[in-house]
Chains A and B, each alone.
Chain A
Amino acid sequence: MNHAPLAAEFVKDRPRAEWHDATLWFVRAKRDKAAQSLPEWETLRDCAAQIKAHTQYRLADYLEQFEREATKRGAVVHWARDAAEHNKIVLGLLRNRGVTKLVKSKSMLTEECHLNPYLERNGIEVVDTDLGERIVQLAGEPPSHIVLPAIHKKKEDVGAIFHKFLGTDEGATDPNYLAEAARAHLRAKFVAADAGLTGVNFAIAETGGLVVCTNEGNADLGVSLPKLHIASMGIEKLIPRAEDLGVFIRLLARSATGQPITAYTSHFHGPRPGGELHIVLVDNGRTNIRANEDFRRSLNCIRCGACMNTCPVYRRSGGHSYETSVPGPIGSILAPAGDPAKFYSLPQACSLCGSCTDVCPVKIDLHHQLLTWRGELGRKGLISWPKRLGMKLGSFMFRHPAVYRTVGAAARKLTPWLPRALVYNRFNTWGRQRELPEFPAESFRQQFERRSREQ
């Protein structure tokens, strides 16, 4: 498992890779415009970071308060320590009620828990109802982005998928036509479903309620027709007070897509009359991340995707190259926390440009955490030996000015005369897509000394 070869595969199709890059940059630009439209943007970010830090500090208390309030309003709260327990709880709820057809709105947590394949193995039909998620579900792929799941698909791809599964005209690529076909297809699924499952954007301790944001209205349809609503949430989704929503809702859609608010921002408190609401609180490694002072703030993430849209590596390597349910900068922090040996390459897939940190609505210091991860992975022995050796030599050289000067002089004198195979070989991964610049005759120090003398 390594990010680099998968990214290399992605950039092979150059026009497509450039299109992907430009499309996400377009979303980033919309985010900038939305952020700049509010003079208090930085105040909102500060407030959001403070609210999250406070919530983490008192998380156990707020979880208990949330359960108390939610129960008071008729919801049933379940607790799951890991993905397997979450999946078992959901399957149990469905089985006990004879549910065979489930409609789902977007939930990155259920991706993380691999709920869909688990339910399908157990005879439940699962339909992802977010259009982007439905596209990738039909294609047999995971989402490549947390907000824009099918951002890697062109309309020709969607047309081909819909032709195969929904019977749209062959070669049809008009987004209006394709979305209309999906509407008819998914309406039938909504009407046939016995239960609806949603993710959770925010859970309010004070009121025991849930907030779910969509543009399509798919979460709302999915939990307003069938009697059973299951909401799956990570324990970090909590906020203390209803008024805190003012901060987060203002930040979320603007950061995600540049919209002032999503078309539907739905607040659920208890089941609807005659229905059932079950809320599954999932830990699945979050407590461990909270224990770590360096990475704790990564749990403040509200899953807006802004760090992905701005990341020069993500934009040019595609979400699938990360092989995680949450890709991009934030995913590269969260994934190694769960399985460092599997995801060791992700913190390396970062130029440390810091753009993610600049756009993060809850002020997670993403690039600092990615750098911290590199040290951590090095200590765990998860960095390849050529890289480790290179780093050690580099570190020695930069700490010893005389060595630095000698190596510099040798490089300037010798490199132009070396056979190409000695400079560009498998150990020089930097040189795979790049050529060294022409070496100057004099070093900066030599030039500086000469000019000082000449004055």
Chain B
Amino acid sequence: MNSKDRILSDLRAQQLPAAGLPSLAQAWTRYEDPSAQFISLVESVGGRVVRLPSRGDLPAALAEVPAFVAAQQIVSGVAEIVGNVDLARVDDPHALEMVDFAVFPGEFAVAENGAVWVTDERVPHRAIYFITQHLALVVPADQMVHNLHEAYARIALGTSSLGVFISGPSKTADIEQSLVIGAHGPRSLTVFLVG
């Protein structure tokens, strides 16, 4: 008998009491002003939120972001911003090591925890979200859910090889519980809430 059959037959030989699944349709917390909740949560985890009336304001808003202004290599996944590194022309994600700034669309935001949902569906190298020195995500302001239950209800998990909730920049507190921003991944996260 191979290990799989052995494990499964051992498990099936055990009689456990029947237990049902709970319904997750419950009265979970909703916020009076989800955008305000989202903004305060992102700021509490070391990120920044900039509200923009329209996507057309993106270039001007980014021109105010010092990390973007100083960036040598820029990757852009949004139409309004022109990058100088084209992901589609990069064969090996290792080449992205020198990227200073990346700006991508986020599908939606979660008020409860300041997270933004992104996937690698239209992104040739998922490494870009993590290897860039600085990251900006552009999220339509009306794409805001109150809590994670609502978030999972709208995600079709499995349609892309990576889906990730990003909440703030990369961080660590592994040295004496002192918070350090910029552990391995982006040193900063800017979320543009549009509309």
A182 to B180, CA, bound (A): 12
Return the CB mask of A64-82 against B: 1 if under 8 Å, else 0.
1001010001000001110
Is A326 an interface position by the 8 A CB rule? no
Is B32 an interface position by the 8 A CB rule? no
A367 to B106, CA, bound (A): 44
Chain B residues within 8 Å of A250, by CB:
112-113, 147-148
Are A40 and B28 in contact (CB-based, < 8 A)? Answer: yes
Chain B residues within 8 Å of A60, by CB:
8, 11-12
Shortest C-beta distance, A171 to chain B (Å), equals 15
Is B61 an interface position by the 8 A CB rule? no
- Name the contact of A215 in the complex, choosing from B3, B41, B183 (C-beta under 8 A): B183
Q: In the complex, which residues 116-169 of chain B have their Cβ closer than 8 Å to any Cβ of chain A?
A: 120, 124-127, 129-131, 147-149, 151-153, 155, 157-169
Chain A residues within 8 Å of B166, by CB:
263-264
Nearest A-chain residue to B20, judged by Cβ: A54
Is B114 an interface position by the 8 A CB rule? yes
A343 to B178, CA, bound (A): 34
Nearest B-chain residue to A275, judged by Cβ: B161
Chain B contact-residue range equals 35 or more
Is A43 an interface position by the 8 A CB rule? yes
- Name the contact of A149 in the complex, choosing from B174, B178, B186 (C-beta under 8 A): B174
Nearest A-chain residue to B18, judged by Cβ: A57
A201 to B115, CA, bound (A): 18
Known A38-B29, A217-B184, A257-B173: A225·B167 in contact at CB below 8 Å: no
Is B66 an interface position by the 8 A CB rule? no
Besides A180-B182, A246-B151, A265-B115, 7 more A-B contacts (Cβ < 8 Å) are A47-B24, A50-B20, A79-B7, A81-B6, A215-B183, A217-B183, A272-B126
Q: Which of A125-133, A352-360, A418-426, A427-435 contacts B (4 or more CB under 8 A)?
A: A125-133
A53 to B20, CA, bound (A): 8
Shortest C-beta distance, B108 to chain A (Å), equals 14
Are B184 and A245 in contact (CB-based, < 8 A)? Answer: no
Are A224 and B125 in contact (CB-based, < 8 A)? Answer: yes
What is the total number of residues of chain A having a CB less than 8 Å from a CB of chain B? 95
Are A271 and B170 in contact (CB-based, < 8 A)? Answer: no
Are A43 and B175 in contact (CB-based, < 8 A)? Answer: no
Chain A residues within 8 Å of B19, by CB:
50, 53-54, 56-57
Q: Which of A9-17, A184-192, A331-339 contacts B (4 or more CB under 8 A)?
A: A184-192
Are A266 and B162 in contact (CB-based, < 8 A)? Answer: yes
Known A260-B112, A267-B164, A272-B120: A79·B21 in contact at CB below 8 Å: no
Chain B residues within 8 Å of A383, by CB:
none
Shortest C-beta distance, A156 to chain B (Å), equals 9
Are B97 and A79 in contact (CB-based, < 8 A)? Answer: no
Nearest A-chain residue to B2, judged by Cβ: A79
Are A269 and B183 in contact (CB-based, < 8 A)? Answer: no
Is A401 an interface position by the 8 A CB rule? no
Nearest A-chain residue to B27, judged by Cβ: A40
- Name the contact of B4 in the complex, choosing from A26, A79, A218 (C-beta under 8 A): A79
Instruction: Count chain A CB atoms within 10 A of each CB in B93, B151, B186 and give the residue with the most.
Output: B93
Q: List 18 A-B contacts (CB under 8 A).
A: A26-B177, A54-B19, A54-B20, A56-B19, A57-B18, A79-B7, A81-B6, A221-B127, A224-B127, A246-B24, A246-B149, A249-B165, A257-B173, A261-B113, A261-B165, A263-B170, A266-B162, A266-B163
Are A221 and B157 in contact (CB-based, < 8 A)? Answer: no
Shortest C-beta distance, B63 to chain A (Å), equals 27
Chain A residues within 8 Å of B8, by CB:
60, 63-64
Are B14 and A179 in contact (CB-based, < 8 A)? Answer: no
Are A175 and B171 in contact (CB-based, < 8 A)? Answer: no
Are B158 and A73 in contact (CB-based, < 8 A)? Answer: yes
